[in-house]
């Protein structure tokens, strides 16, 4: 792999690796949503959610479309959900070997 490839991969993983962004991606798992639906569903300020959505869109994780005054976002590549699911599987494996983590789940 080249340095550019490594940088781009790291950018994608950074775009996913944040609690608010993971919450947004889980919400978008079922399909496209308007920003007006996303921020109340995850309990965050609209400006904060918009910042995270823009960041993920620029990283190529989300698509964005405008319909009148509403802006809709959707997951661009379903592989993002596979990455999230794989992280959860690793977490569950670790929980089996870490009793403290098991109680936290």
CA distance 34 to 67: 10
Residue showing tokens 């947004």:
24
pLDDT for the residue numbered 100: 65
Split at pLDDT 50, 70, 90, the class of 99 is low
Split at pLDDT 50, 70, 90, the class of 16 is very high
* Domain edges within the chain: 3-76
Residue showing tokens 């949503």:
33
Strands 33-34 and 62-67: unpaired
Summary mean pLDDT of the chain:
91
Burial of 85 (0-12, 13-18, 19+ CB in 10 A): exposed
Q: What is the mean pLDDT of residues 80-93?
A: 92
Query: pTM of this prediction?
Result: 0.85
Options 1.10.10.10, 3.30.450.90, 3.30.460.10, 3.40.50.300; CATH for 3-76 is 1.10.10.10
């Amino acid at each position: 792999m080249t340095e550019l490839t490594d940088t781009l991969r790291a950018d994608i993983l950074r775009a996913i690796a944040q609690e608010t962004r993971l919450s947004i991606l889980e919400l978008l798992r079922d399909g496209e949503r308007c920003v007006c639906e996303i921020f109340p569903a995850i309990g965050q300020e609209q400006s904060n959610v918009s910042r995270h959505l823009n960041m993920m869109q620029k990283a190529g994780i989300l698509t964005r479309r405008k319909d009148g005054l509403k802006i809709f976002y959707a997951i661009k590549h379903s592989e993002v959900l596979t990455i999230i699911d794989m992280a959860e599987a690793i977490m569950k494996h670790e929980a089996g070997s870490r009793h403290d983590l098991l109680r936290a789940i």
